[in-house]
Every structure is written in structure tokens, then in C-alpha cells.
Amino acid sequence: MFWTIIRSLPPSDRNSLRTLLAPAQLVRLAMSYMFDLLRYARYSSTVHTSCRQHEEAYLIMAYHKIEKALALKRPRPGFGKDSVKAMLRRLARYFRRYGVDDTVEICLSVLESYFNFNKGYDEEIDRLESQYSELRDVILGNSSVRERNRGGVVPLTREEVLQAASVDFESFSRMRRSIRNFAPEPVELEILERALSIAQSTPSVCNRQTWRTHIFLNKEQIKKILKYQNGNRGFGEDAGAILIITASLRYFRGVGERNQAFIDGGMYAMNLVYALHSLGLGTCCLNLSLNPGIDVRLHKAANIPSHEVPIMMIAVGHLPATFSVAASRRKPIDEVVVVH
């Protein structure tokens, strides 16, 4: 397959590849892509559905589809009947297998919002609402869905958004720098958890929130896992904490989402860096562009489940009173922006 793709390229591109990549590098590249392919095929629901996270991902996608439609300026009455019908079937099956959890409660809340919007629209929606009511009674009896798990839509005003956004983000963003000189005091778990809570606002594909954060505070653990990252020499072990950001492949499905873990995980990592910055901590993003062998060894050393893809490490620490940072010149806007 690999060589078929190479032969399909125009002669000029084939010659460029042969010039730029030695045969041994081509083989390593092909093996690395095969490693990624097999891992994605094994853990995503592209090939088969085999675990709770696969089912949960479907329900999250289904209820968020309804939420997005309800948030439109003019939702279409009667929308999504086929999707709701399928969602009710999958929700009943999920409940039978796994019981009541946050996902089940949010599904019920979103469906309630859906039927309230479409009240009395037609007989088919009335029948679906009856099915929903029966299922809801089976799941929760006559108790109400917990307030913290409300789904649907949240009304906002422009004034509320502008007031919350009234910070000097330009100065805040420009002052965010990669720190390679940390103060010696330890980083408290409580402040990390606060930053993680802030970062949960990160958007993700269909709201699946596939990211995971592995926290290391012990100096021996930090020293151990930094061996698998090649850009921390001279400062990594001084960090008060090392975070490993991953994304779970179990929440993805289909060929088109094969790279989505890196998109969602990367967006989350940047939001987390800003959250840590807002709480006065210094950070340095450490790449995890790993070959398959190091990838496997890092999973084992850090006790990371094999269905999670490493996105990046983040070194975290308190800021010393004075320190230096790399100038890190930024390219002019006209070099990185194309106006169409």
C-alpha cells in the first residue's frame, strides 16, 4: 500500500521524496504510520463498538446535536425526529448495561428540552415523548435530574459576555512565555485542579471532551518520565509538576476523525497553559513527537492506558523573583495569514 501511494505521486514529487528521505527513513515512516493506524483501529469505534466509552461517545454526540439545534436563532419545529428515535434506543441500552451516570442524566435533560420545544408538534413527536417519559420513569422514577447535570441551552445576554470578557487579553497573552527557570517551592495539587477546572471550557468535537491529564508531583517520578522527552535538559527536573496531556481514542469514530485526538488535545493543552498562567504559575510546553518504541515505553513508565494518545508534556512551576526567557521572535502577520 505504501509503495503504491509513492508510485501514484507525480515524478517530480517521487524524486523529491527519494532525495529527501533515505530508504531506511521511508521504512521507519511507514512503520510509524502503521503503528498509529493499528492503535486507532483497535481503540476507536471505527471498526466495532466494544466498550462503555464507545457507547458514551455516541450519546454525547446525539444530545449535543440537539443542543446545537436548540441554540440556533430560529430552531426548526419538529427537527431531529429520527435522531431522537435512535437516541432513545441507545440510551435504553446504555442504561441496561451501565446504569445511571452523568451522561444518562444529561441525555434525559436534553430530551426534556427537546420535547418542551416541540410540544404538540405532531403525533410522531408525541409518541416519542411518551417513550421518553416511560424510559425516564424507569431510570429515575419520579425524582428530578440533578441540577448540575442539566443539558439543553443556557440563555445569555451580550452584556454578560462582554463583562466576563473585560480583561486585557492582549497583554495577558503576550506575557505568557515558556519558562525554564522555576522557583524551588512545590506546586500545590489544589492550584493545578483549579486550572484543570478552568480548562474544561475548551471546545471539542461534539463536546466529547476526550482529553486526559496525568499529573506527576513526585521528583523521582518526574525524573523518570522526563527521560522520554528530549527537550527538557537543564531545567525539566526543577519543575514542581509535570503534566502529560493525552486524548482517549475510545471517543472517536470513523476515518475522518483519525487525527482529531491531536486537535482536541492540542486545544485543551493551550487552554490549560493559559489557565495556569492566569493563576500565576510558569509553564513550558514539551513536545511528545515520539516514535512507536518510545511511545510504548512512556505509556508503561507513566502508567498511561494504551487507548490514550500522548499529546504533550507541560512543565509547571512557581515563578522566581527574576528570570530570563527566550526572545522567540514571532513572524509578521503577513507571513502567516492569507486573506481569500
Over the stretch 231-258, which tens digit does the pLDDT of each residue have?
Answer: 999 999 999 999 999 999 999 999 999 9
Per the prediction, the chain carries an average pLDDT of 92
Residue 234, phi-psi category: left (phi > 0), alpha (psi -120 to 50), beta (remainder): left
Decide if 115 contacts 88 (C-beta within 8 A): no
Q: Closest Cα to residue 285, out of 326, 255, 324?
A: 326
Task: Round to whole Å and give the CA distance between 52 and 111.
Answer: 21
Decide if 319 contacts 282 (C-beta within 8 A): yes
Decide if 214 contacts 225 (C-beta within 8 A): no
Task: Round to whole Å and give the CA distance between 239 and 220.
Answer: 12
- Residues 6+ positions from 51 with CB-CB distance below 8 Å: 250
pLDDT tens-digit map of 53-72? 999 999 999 999 999 999 99
Instruction: Assign 19 a pLDDT band (cuts: 50, 70, 90).
Output: low
Q: What single-letter amino acid sits at 203?
A: P
Task: Round to whole Å and give the CA distance between 60 and 232.
Answer: 38
Instruction: Assign 145 a pLDDT band (cuts: 50, 70, 90).
Output: low
Decide if 178 contacts 231 (C-beta within 8 A): no
Task: Round to whole Å and give the CA distance between 256 and 259.
Answer: 8
Task: Tell me how far CA of residue 23 lies from CA of 19, 158, 249, 269, in angstroms.
Answer: 10, 58, 31, 35
Instruction: Assign 147 a pLDDT band (cuts: 50, 70, 90).
Output: low
According to DSSP, the β-strands at 308-318 and 211-216 are unpaired
Per DSSP, 250 falls in state G
CA dihedral 269, 284, 292, 50 (to 10 degrees): -20
Bridge partners (DSSP) of residue 317 are 282
pLDDT tens-digit map of 95-129? 999 999 999 999 999 999 999 999 999 999 999 99
Instruction: Assign 26 a pLDDT band (cuts: 50, 70, 90).
Output: confident
Instruction: Assign 319 a pLDDT band (cuts: 50, 70, 90).
Output: very high
